[in-house]
Amino acid sequence: MEKNLIVEWVLGASGKYEIDLAESGIQYHYLRDFKIGRGCNLNYSSDAGSPELREKISKLYRVKKENVLITNGSQEAMYILLNVLLREGDEVVIISPGWQQYEEVAKKIGAKIKKLFLDPKEDFQLNPSDLKKLISKKTKAVIINSPHNPTGLKFDIKKIKTIIPKGVFLINDEVYLLNPNESVTYNCEDKNFISVGSLSKIQGVPGIRIGWMIGLKSIVDEAINYRRYTTISNSALGEDIALEIFKDYSKYLKEYHNLVSRGFHTLKKWVEEQKGIKLIKPHGTPFALIKYKFNIPSKDLCEQILNKEKVLLVPGSSFGTENCFRISFGRDPEILNKGLRKISRFFGNINENSDSK
């Protein structure tokens, strides 16, 4: 597999930054925030995940418990899913820019990748008819990510569902989806629609590694058997924390809304005060994509900001696009404002240099 550009970028910056505006979720929680007692057992969990946790998720999505598999984050859910579904020679349609895992895992299996490139000049809007043109008789799966990383855009799922032919799987990576009733699998347990989700981004607990897959019972059963040869089960401690979250689900959504709404207001106002940049308005994500007009590759730009201002961003090149960067605003207000001031200083120097030429 090719190197994971996003992880390599973030890990490579370790120890170099003071302010992290590259994080893809909100500020993480601590164990002290949960009422986990000493009676929590540390035995193996079920290979399908805690029955109680599966039941909680199935009710949110209005499917049967048998349609739900609890995994070690959405990353494991997607990895297992692709290995269960795909065979050498299958075609897979994906979107670019996007999360690198879809392409790399599918290629490793021997699948042929067909990409729909979202045009930066059109602010990365997705036209379902363009997606349809890439689907052929050999297509096994169409993978989308809505709300989308790195743009934060939400695609027209209802329209996309109508263009998927019989026998083709539609997979949506929904780690940033706030409302389960907007899921491709909501109240839909007998179609070739599959979703993956997690508690990492919105609920702020990436460290417990709890995600899930929802789909046909036959697919879930195959996935359960596949994971018996990988991680076997989830952490029982992680599942207990997840259950506590689901028992007060609205509380965590409210916390997320408050932090993200406040942060976006700050970011939007800041962008309006800058020269040479444009904000792609996100739809509920804790980050946004910012396009810029400076004549410099995105990795070079982010490296200079990292080295000179000690602020970590994610270059567009990590997602397969250019002249843009992803910035997180679901942060503590003091941290966000300090980071934005530092980036402003850097942009000011760039603009001064270009004006003097």
pLDDT tens, residue by residue, 256-287: 999 999 999 999 999 999 999 999 999 999 99
196 and 273 in one domain?
no
Mean pLDDT, all residues of the chain: 95
- Could you tell me the two tokens for 107? 């290629």
Q: Is the pLDDT of residue 184 over 90?
A: yes
Helix (H, G, I), strand (E, B) or coil at 129: helix
Tens-digit pLDDT profile for residues 206-217: 999 999 999 999
What pLDDT is attached to residue 354? 57
The stretches of the chain forming alpha helices (DSSP H) are 5-12, 51-61, 73-85, 100-109, 128-133, 157-162, 217-227, 236-247, 249-272, 298-309, 333-355
For residue 11 the two structure tokens come to 């890990």
We report the CATH number of the domain holding residue 314 as 3.90.1150.10
In this structure, are 270 and 222 located in the same domain? no
Which of 247, 276, 297 is a domain's end point?
247
Q: What are phi and psi of 6, to 5 degrees?
A: -70, -50
Residue 352: the pLDDT is: 61
Residue 33 belongs to a domain: no
Confidence category of residue 189, pLDDT binned at 50, 70, 90: confident
pLDDT, average across residues 190-214: 96
In a domain, 353, yes or no: no
Q: What is the pLDDT of residue 248?
A: 93
Residue that terminates a domain, selected from 228, 247, 266 = 247
- Work out the average pLDDT over 156-167: 95
Coil, helix or strand for 196? strand
Please give the residue that has the higher pLDDT: either 303 or 36.
303
**How far is the C-alpha of 111 from the C-alpha of 86, rounded, in Å?**
7
pLDDT score recorded for residue 356: 47
User: Among the listed ranges 24-28, 89-93, 167-171, which one has the minimum average pLDDT value?
Assistant: 24-28
Whether 64 and 197 map to the same domain: the answer is yes
DSSP 38: T
Residue 353 pLDDT > 70, yes or no? no
Cβ atoms within 10 Å, residue 207: 15
- Whether the per-residue pLDDT at 102 is higher than 50: the answer is yes
Segments forming the whole domain that contains residue 190:
39-247
Same domain, 111 and 238: yes
**Same domain membership, residue 151 and residue 45:** yes
Say if residue 337's pLDDT is above 80: yes
**Structural domain contains residue 356:** no
* Residue 355 predicted with pLDDT over 90: no
* 16 and 61 inside one domain: no
pLDDT reported for residue 39: 80
**Region 219-230 average pLDDT:** 97
How many Cα neighbours within 13 Å face the side chain of 296?
18
Q: Based on the domain organization, do 100 and 212 belong to the same domain?
A: yes
Asked if 253 and 178 count as a contact pair (C-beta separation under 8 A), the reply is yes
For range 237-254, the mean pLDDT:
95
